[in-house]
Amino acid sequence: MSITHQDAAAARTPERAAAPAGAACHALRVRLTAGAAADGPDAVAARLTALTAGTGPSAGFPARLWTERVPCGADAPAARRWRDRELGRPLPVHRDAPVRAVLLQYADGATDLVVVADRAALDTTALHAFTARLLGAEQDTALTARTAATSPPAEPGPGGPVEQPDWGLGRPHGPDTPVTRVLPLPAGHPETDAESWATALGVVLARYEGVTRPALALLAPGTGAPGRPVVPAPVAADGGSTLGTVDKELRAALAAGPDGTATTAAVGLVLADRDLSAGLPGADHAEYRPFQQPPFPVTVTVTRDATGGRALRCDHSARTLSDAVADQLLRHVSQVHRTLAEAPDTLVADARPWDEEEAARLAAHRRSAPLPPFTPRRIDTAVAEIAAARPDAVAVRCEDTRLTYGELDRRADRLAHALRALGVGDRDRVGVCLERSAEMIVVLLAVLKAGATYVPMDPAYPEDRLAYTTSDAGLTTVLTDRADFPGGTDTRVLTPAALEDLAPERCDGPPPSAAGADDPAYVIYTSGSTGRPKGCVVPHVNVLSLMAATTGDFGLGADDTWTLFHSSAFDFSVWEIWGCLLTGGRLVVVPYWVSRSPEDFHRLLREERVTVLSQTPSAFAHLVEVERDGADPAPVRLVVFGGEGLDPRMLLPWFDRHPETACRVVNMYGITETTVHVTAQTVTRAEALTASKSVGHALPGWWVRVADPDGRPLPAGVAGEIYVGGAGVAAHYLNKPELTEQRFLTDVRTGERLYRSGDKGRLLPDGRLEHLGRLDSQVKLRGFRIELDEIRSVLLDDPQVTAAAVVLNRTDPDDAATAQLDAYVVMDGDDTASVRQRATRFLPEYMVPSTVTALERMPLTTNGKLDTRRLPRPAAAPAPAAPAAPAATPAAAQAESAAAQADTFEQVLLEVWREVLGVPVGPDDNFFDLGGNSLLAMRVGAALRRRGGHTVAMRDLYLRPTIRQLAADRAG
């Protein structure tokens, strides 16, 4: 016999009780005067029996008076717990008892009467009247018997899931602990009716949520029919209205009664600011609890204690609000309420939610430590000082090349003279389009020594982008090895070797120059989400400030070895090159083919004993994988993340091998327009485990502010646009005065320059910044606002998934209806269905990706950021055979089994290239001519590894790009 019919058993059991009763009940406690108490419990019990069991309108639910002998005096600390427990004790589910009366008889003779009632049966007025009758009042009560017809759904939001506020800074994965925060109101706080508080809360929410009609729920026990305690209150709090107008509108809405729509508001106000001690015979004082369980996810209540003191109280789960944000909410509501009462003509836009004290604290938070003192000078001057002090120290390593500081300085001096000879003058812009090499470093330094500004370009950029940069920057001289550089007639294009030929045999220092620390050092072009790339002009002094801000904290110095991993066209390289050379370190140039091969790069880190590693998180994920596959840990002591947002959970396997005491990991938020970095957050295992998005405090000398679209500062927790000020703010955009005016602003109060980033962020209560992506990373799908980063975060929570990307695609570009979310993951195993299945548990249906495609690796741009354009077609999309089929498709599996039969290296390679490139392949075809690139080369490597056969080193592929050459090399 098998008795495991659990489902059947569940189906036969009684219905689950409706709502937890606590939200539907309220309670009143009355301290009896000595005279009333002397009557004894019997008198009260008799009235209770008469009230509830007699005939007439008050009959219907016979109730018993409970008495409890409290073993301590009424003033003893333990007595509070007895009272709280009695006030909070719910009425039983499934027993038709709408009221409970309890006498608490304290050891010192004091007596409390506690009446708990179902709000649907007794509203506030009726509860008060009922209690009065128990105490011997003669007037009739409004008590009515509860029947099915008047029994209401007392819980708010039957219409759907209640939204959680996104400004709460709660811990969504932490324990669901109920929290109460209380803000006592000062004695002088204006006395108003309860509705004014609703107006104040509405105005604050409008500010927090960046909307004019915030969803606000109200529980007004004294107003409306007892059956409908919850009404949504539409408040039109646009900036142009006065507080008084908003208040009038809200009152009109309340008077009109509930509009029948179910509220899904997360934040609600309980109007309970009534003094219920009046009219109770024999009452010394009274205490009213408008609810036993808070009726809303965030419940704000105006309370009045036994002595008449008022307080604002916030009840919520620790998952929803942090303590600091709850306290802040109460402060802001109180402040706006005061303004409403004292100056109702104040415009909503002008109603500051904080007082002077908080404003000062906010200002102090966003202003970081002062920049350590340093001598403003040109970058090349500072490097020359190091060269003079330590001429024999190694400055640059690149494969077999080694340059000491002395050699670097002398060679750059000579090339600077050559540039001068070509007519390059102070503040002229010189294009540099070179692969990473020791020579490139010399050239960059030479341009600076010539008093000029370097404009880096990546040799891998397409021709039209190079041509655009050349013409936009007005480059008269470009140094490049690229023979087909689109120079035009006005531009002199020459190789570094040709420049070398023009250089004097010897020279005594750099050519004379009038350019100074405030003159531009470089112009880096950044692409925005719209429009053409724009050149950002950054002065020398900004770079020196950056090093002054970081050198001490990071302990940077002559013992450090840095990598130059990134393209000089990406400003992360500014940090790598000048960060190293301005602190006397040794710079190891990472050749392109090594930067694309995580295994080779990891080997380089070990062989060169690199101590300071700067990476984008996407690129770093590959390194972590290499170590996970068994490589010995690299001896790095500092890892600096930049370039894109970091999900610190990816660092857990790194920390397993590199304890925080041995290697510091710093996540830095930065923008080209503010000189590489703005903030720094040291990431520990604790941050990684909580998936913290904090990018830390601003660097000394930098500062950040988060503001709403009108530029008004926002309180902690509330997301808005990040503004950056201080030592890093760039000069301007080249030739773009209008854009410069829009983005580079001047603070009207302080006269300081600041940059408006277009990035979304929020400040934490301790002043750290959370970076939440681009303001425009929000997409709309079938009317839903979707944060792609939110979906990505859920995918990353899956223990199988190590990297994830989500994009909004249209299978038919002209048809919005074909839009769908496609996810790409790097994962252990290939069970993408389970990844999607798991996501359905955490995301609303419209946010669940339609497809999940497993990739060997995420494709990266030349800057090391995720390259969404090179993501393959989604795995499950109804599409023709994809040219770059993802690894886990049936087609790929078929190809694998066919290839298993191929018995020679050449045949395997032919198969794999065909599979990866999606075109017919011959033995003499050049991999790169067939459309191959570094990502596809990685995929070739992965496919070869999966076949368990010989792999081809990345470098070999670059040196011998045809199958015949590779085979010959292996045979030889």
Partner 1 sequence: MRLQGKTVVVTGAARGVGRACALAFSREGADLALLDVCGDVDGVPYPLGTVSQLDHTARLCREQGAAVLTATADVRDGAALRAAVDATLDRFGAVDVLVNNAGIVAPSGRTTHEITEDEWQVMLDINLSGAWRMISLVGPHMVARRSGSIVNVASTAGLVGYRHFAGYTASKHGLIGLTRATALDYAPLKVRVNALCPGSIRDDSAVEGRMLTEIARSLELPVGEHEQTFVQSQPMNALIEPEDVAGAALWLASDESRQVTGSVLTVDGGFTIR
- Give the dihedral sign, CA 275/280/285/287: negative
Q: Does 92 bind partner 1 (CB under 8 A)?
A: yes
Cβ contact 590:563 at 8 Å: yes
Let me know: does 340 contact 201? Beta carbons within 8 Å. Answer: no
Nearer to partner 1, 6 or 897 (CB): 6
Q: Characterize the bridge pairing of strands 453-456 and 477-480.
A: unpaired
H or E element at residue 666: strand 664-669
Nearer to partner 1, 80 or 945 (CB): 80
Residue 71 found at the interface with partner 1 (CB under 8 A): yes
Give the nearest distance from C-beta 81 to partner 1 in angstroms.
6
Q: Which of residues 69 and 869 has its CB atom nearest to partner 1 in the complex? A: 69
Closest distance between partner 1 and the C-beta of residue 132, in Å? 23
Residue closer to partner 1 (CB basis): 97 or 884? 97
Size, binding site for partner 1 by CB under 8 A: 33
| Residue in the structure block whose two tokens are 């390059």 | 424
Q: Does 88 bind partner 1 (CB under 8 A)?
A: yes
- 905-917 and 963-971 helices, crossing angle to 10°: 150
Q: How far is CA 829 from CA 217, 551, 626, 649, 832, in A?
A: 47, 43, 17, 19, 8
Q: How far is the CB of 709 from partner 1 (least distance, A)?
A: 45
- Check if the beta carbon of residue 882 is closer than 8 Å to that of residue 873: yes
Cβ at position 333, least distance to partner 1 in Å: 29
CB of 226 to partner 1, least distance (A): 21
Comparing CB distances to partner 1, the nearer of 178 and 370 is 178
DSSP-H helix ranges across 174-290: 194-209, 243-256
What is the nearest approach in angstroms of partner 1 to the Cβ of residue 107? 11
Is the distance from CB of 810 to CB of 819 less than 8 angstroms? Answer: yes
- Single out the residue of 2, 56, 69, 187 in contact with partner 1 (rule: CB under 8 A): 69
Determine the interface stretch with partner 1 among 85-93, 305-313, 379-387, 927-935 (rule: CB under 8 A).
85-93
Which of 60, 89, 137, 892: binder of partner 1 (CB under 8 A)? 89
Which is nearer to partner 1, 41 or 136 (by Cβ)? 41
97 binds partner 1 (CB under 8 A): yes
CA atoms within 13 A on the CB side of 97: 15
Which residue among 93, 879, 893, 900 contacts partner 1 (CB under 8 A)?
93
Number of H helices, E strands in the chain: 29, 37
**Facing residues of 69 across strands?**
105
E strand or H helix that includes residue 4? none
Q: Which amino acid is at 505?
A: E
Closest CB to partner 1 among 68 and 608?
A: 68
| Closer by beta carbon to partner 1, 317 or else 934 | 317
Of the two residues 13 and 489, which places its CB atom closer to partner 1 in the complex? 13
- Cβ(291)–Cβ(262) under 8 Å? no
Rounded Cα distance, 569 and 717, in Å: 35
| Binding status of residue 94 toward partner 1 by CB under 8 A | yes
Backbone angles phi, psi at 738, to 5 degrees: -70, -45
Find the part of the chain contacting partner 1 (CB under 8 A) among 76-84, 212-220, 251-259, 492-500: 76-84
Strands across the sheet containing 230-232: 178-184, 310-317, 298-304, 267-270, 217-219, 230-232
Single residue of 2, 35, 56, 95 touching partner 1 by CB under 8 A: 95
Q: Which of 30, 74, 91, 613 binds partner 1 (CB under 8 A)?
A: 91
Cβ partners under 8 Å of residue 477, min gap 6: 419, 422, 423, 424, 428, 430, 431, 491, 492, 494
Provide the minimum distance between the beta carbon of 117 and partner 1 in the complex, in angstroms, as a whole number.
12
User: Rounded distance, CA 963 to CA 911, Å?
Assistant: 11
Binding of residue 21 to partner 1 (CB under 8 A) = yes
403 binds partner 1 (CB under 8 A): no
- Is residue 114 classed as helix, strand or coil in its secondary structure? strand
The DSSP bridge partners found for residue 854 are: 825
- Least separation in angstroms between residue 47's CB and partner 1 is 18
Q: Which is nearer to partner 1, 116 or 605 (CB)?
A: 116
* Min separation Cβ 321 and partner 1, Å: 22
Rounded to whole angstroms, how far apart are CA atoms 666 and 637? 11
Smallest distance, partner 1 to C-beta of residue 66, A: 5
Contact pattern from residue 426 through residue 455 relative to partner 1, giving x for each residue in contact according to CB under 8 A and a dash for the rest: ------------------------------
Structure-token pair, residue 190: 């204006």
Shortest distance in whole angstroms from residue 22 CB to partner 1: 9
In the complex with partner 1, which residue's Cβ is closer, 92 or 257? Answer: 92
Question: Residue 100, interface with partner 1 (CB under 8 A)?
Answer: yes
User: In angstroms, rounded to a whole number, what is the distance separating the alpha carbons of residues 482 and 486?
Assistant: 9
Strand partners, 367: 703
Q: Does position 68 bind partner 1 by CB under 8 A?
A: yes
Pick the closer one to partner 1 by CB: 173 or 782: 173
Nearer to partner 1 by Cβ, of 25 and 433: the residue is 25
Residue closer to partner 1 by CB (options 48, 937) is: 48
What tokens were used for 134?
Answer: 């128990």
Query: Between 1 and 20, how does the x/- string for binding to partner 1 read (CB under 8 A)?
Result: --xx-xx-xx--xxxxx---
In this complex, which beta carbon is closest to partner 1, that of residue 95 or of residue 869? 95
Piece in contact with partner 1 (CB under 8 A), picked from 92-100, 117-125, 203-211, 582-590: 92-100
Q: Is 278 in the site for partner 1 (CB under 8 A)?
A: no
Nearer to partner 1, 122 or 581 (CB): 122
By CB under 8 A, residue 504 contacts partner 1 = no
Alpha-carbon distance of 571 to 594, in angstroms, equals 20
* In the complex, least distance from residue 318 CB atom to partner 1, rounded to whole angstroms: 16
Q: Quick one: tokens of 10?
A: 């569940």
DSSP string, 625-693: HHHHTTPPPP--SEEEE-SS---GGGGHHHHHHS-TTT-EEEEEE--GGGSS-SEEEEE-HHHHHTT--
Contact predicate 806/849, CB 8 Å: yes
**Distance (Å, whole) CA 514 – CA 495:** 27
Q: What's CA 138's distance to the chain center, in Å?
A: 62
What kind and span of H or E run contains 421?
A: helix 405-421
- CA 211, CA 203: separation in Å to the nearest integer? 10
- Of 81-89, 135-143, 484-492, 747-755: span binding partner 1 (CB under 8 A): 81-89
Task: Quote the least distance from Cβ 97 to partner 1, whole Å.
Answer: 6
Positions in the binding site for partner 1 (CB under 8 A): 3-4, 6-7, 9-10, 13-17, 21, 63-64, 66, 68-69, 71, 78, 81-82, 85-86, 88-95, 97, 100
